[in-house]
Amino acid sequence: MTGAAAIRTGIGWDSHRLVSGPPTRALILGGVTIPYEQGLHGHSDADVLTHAVIDALLGAAGLDDIGALFPDTDAAYKDADSIALLRDVVGRVAAEGYAIVNVDTTVVMERPKLSPHRAEIRATLAAALGLGDRDVNVKASTGEGLGFVGRGEGVAALAVATLSAAA
């Protein structure tokens, strides 16, 4: 553990490109596969929301970032299950002496609608984080037609994590 603060926060941001294939890619958000005609491009499973959560946790713990831990040049992380990477990071955060208090997130996406999948995403992330569903929030926003999100070219996600020094 570094620093004296009992409470620490971290932010995470990620974006991935939406692609139609071939090859066909899945749209996976927070560990949940969402039926859609496009998927997210990336070296891993491109779970943009889980990547943002991972960076928020690493940021709060002062542990570098997702690219340093799981490089996209490493074949070991090709098509990697990002929830498995999140579980790895939860272990690293605990090993530093921190407990996760809560995680808040926003997915910025024009289509498809996130709301039918929100409860399952919260439950999936909460299980990986070792938290209750109420401690993991998943909000949805759109680009209002503006920028790469608004043009439907990609999906962005933001996350904030709060840690406390474990008793």
- Between 85 and 163, whose beta carbon lies closer to Mg ion? 85
Give min distance, CB of 157 to Mg ion, in A: 9
Residue pair 152/45 in contact (Cβ under 8 Å)? The answer is no
Which of helix, strand or coil describes residue 8? strand
Residue pair 24/59 in contact (Cβ under 8 Å)? The answer is no
- Between 51 and 117, whose beta carbon lies closer to Mg ion? 51
Which of these, 61, 70, 65, lies nearest to 52 by C-alpha position? Answer: 65
Per CB under 5 A, the segment of 46-54, 104-112, 120-128, 140-148 that binds Mg ion is 46-54
What strands lie across the sheet with 136-141, from one edge to the other? 39-40, 7-19, 154-165, 98-108, 136-141
Q: Which of 12, 14, 27, 109 binds Mg ion (CB under 5 A)?
A: 14
- Between 51 and 118, whose beta carbon lies closer to Mg ion? 51
Per CB under 5 A, the segment of 11-19, 90-98, 122-130, 159-167 that binds Mg ion is 11-19
In a 13 Å sphere around the CA of 107, the CA atoms on its Cβ side amount to 27
- Between 11 and 166, whose beta carbon lies closer to Mg ion? 11
Q: Which of 8, 25, 51, 118 binds Mg ion (CB under 5 A)?
A: 51
User: Is residue 25 part of the contact set for Mg ion (CB under 5 A)?
Assistant: no
Question: CA 96 to CA 79: how far, in whole Å?
Answer: 28
- Between 53 and 99, whose beta carbon lies closer to Mg ion? 53
Site for Mg ion in 71-100 (CB under 5 A): none
From first CA to last CA, the distance across the chain in angstroms is 12
Chain residues binding Mg ion by CB under 5 A are 14, 51
